[in-house]
Structure formats: C-alpha cells, structure tokens
Amino acid sequence: MSTTTTATQGRAAVPGPGGPADSPAPAPRVVRQRRRRPGLIALSVALIAAGGLSGALLFTASGQRSSVLVVARDVPVGATLTEADMAPASLALDPVVKAVPAAKRAGLVGQRAAVALKAGSLLSPGQITAVSLVKTGEQLVGVALKPSQLPASRLAPGQKVLIVSTPDPAQAGAAAAGGKPADPAPAPKTLAATVVAVGVAAPATGVVVVDVAVPAADGPVLASRVATGAVALIVAAQEGGS
C-alpha cells in the first residue's frame, strides 16, 4: 500500500534529513529596499567637510607663533641695552599685544631702558628710548664714593640725588690745633643731580664711581669737589612722596 504526502497550501515542503518533509517551512520574507536620498547624503558630506575645515583653521590660527624679544636679565631704568640683555623667543600672541620683533635686536643695542626691565618679561616698544639721561645744557661728572659716602640702597639710573660737600678733615684738624674757638658749622652745600650710570665697586676699597648729570654751570664746581674726596651722596625725596 502506497502513502501520498500532500503539502499544505501556502507552505513549502522541506525534505527532512532522512526522506520526506518533517515540518512545513515559513514563506520567505519580502525585504523592502530603502530609498537613497542623494540630497541628504550630499548635505552630510558638506557638513563634515566644513567641520573639518573649521577645525583645521582654528588649529592653524592658534598655532601661529611670532619671533619676538624678551628681557634676558634685569635692566635698571636708564641703562644702555646690550645684546646680552635681550633674547629671542617664539610666542603665540594676541594681535593687540605690542611686542618687539626679534629681527630688531641689533637696532636696539645702545638705546636705553625707559623703565626697569625684569628678566623673562616681554619687551615692548614703549619700554625703550633713544633719549639720553644727559639732557641739553647738562654735563656728565663721575663721582668716586666710598661705601661710607653713599647709601647702602642700590642706586639706579634716572634716580634723583643730592651731592653734599662735607667738611675738609685737614682744615678741621688745623683749626683744632690752633686753639681757635669752633665757629658754628655752616649749612653744607648741596647740588642736585641725576644718576646716569653706576659702576662696579672696586674689590679692595669698595669705591664706586657714579656718573651723574648736573647743569653745565655746576659741572666744573662738582668736579673740583670730587677731587678732594670731601663729598657724599644722598637720595633725594621722590616726587609725590610724603
């Protein structure tokens, strides 16, 4: 007797491993194809490209560096600049910052510091001047001073000082030997001056030569006083000080 297997309508018979179909298989699913939108794809690509370009421009702008000058060591106001006082540096600066290009380093040698310059600071054009501290109608006089003839505080170019005439020790000794009564000491003579440069103290004596600018009429008088050594230097009160 023969057996006939009939497939269920709407189902496909799947043969089993050993012969006839064991169970009906589901009907194949129909996959819908997505519609491509060329306009949307083009917009996405354009946005990605614009973002990358903006990032590149921002990175380039932030990475732009300028070769400028910085102060290599402390320079007092009025001191003459040398090449050793300045050093080149590569810095990223805001356009509003005024700096001196490193290419102008040689042209600044010989000019003076208009303000006190601190090591490591950025050098700006307003901190440098070509004007000498010795003005028209003045003379430059070197005053040799022992440590006891000047303040312990460090002098700086541009500082206002007074040169004081001190009593001559020889004359004072002669008057005492003659037995003459001591006359009231007159007020010491003073001469206003401006410090232009301060030398280095001598190793053995500690004597320091201070260059000062004085009116031309007082230059010879001061030079004669300095020759006797009977002078002292005091710092004048600053304008506006109490």
Structure confidence at residue 148 (pLDDT): 92
Mean of the per-residue pLDDT values of the chain:
77
Strands 138-145 and 208-215: antiparallel
Among candidates 228, 198, 196, which has minimal Cα distance to 212? 196
pLDDT tens per residue across span 77-118:
778 899 999 999 988 877 788 888 989 999 999 888 887 789
Structure confidence at residue 167 (pLDDT): 77
pLDDT tens per residue across span 20-79:
555 666 666 655 555 556 666 666 766 676 666 565 555 455 557 788 899 999 887 778
Instruction: Give the whole-angstrom CA distance, residue 183 versus residue 168.
Output: 14
Would the pLDDT of 196 be above 50?
Answer: yes
Would the pLDDT of 184 be above 60?
Answer: yes
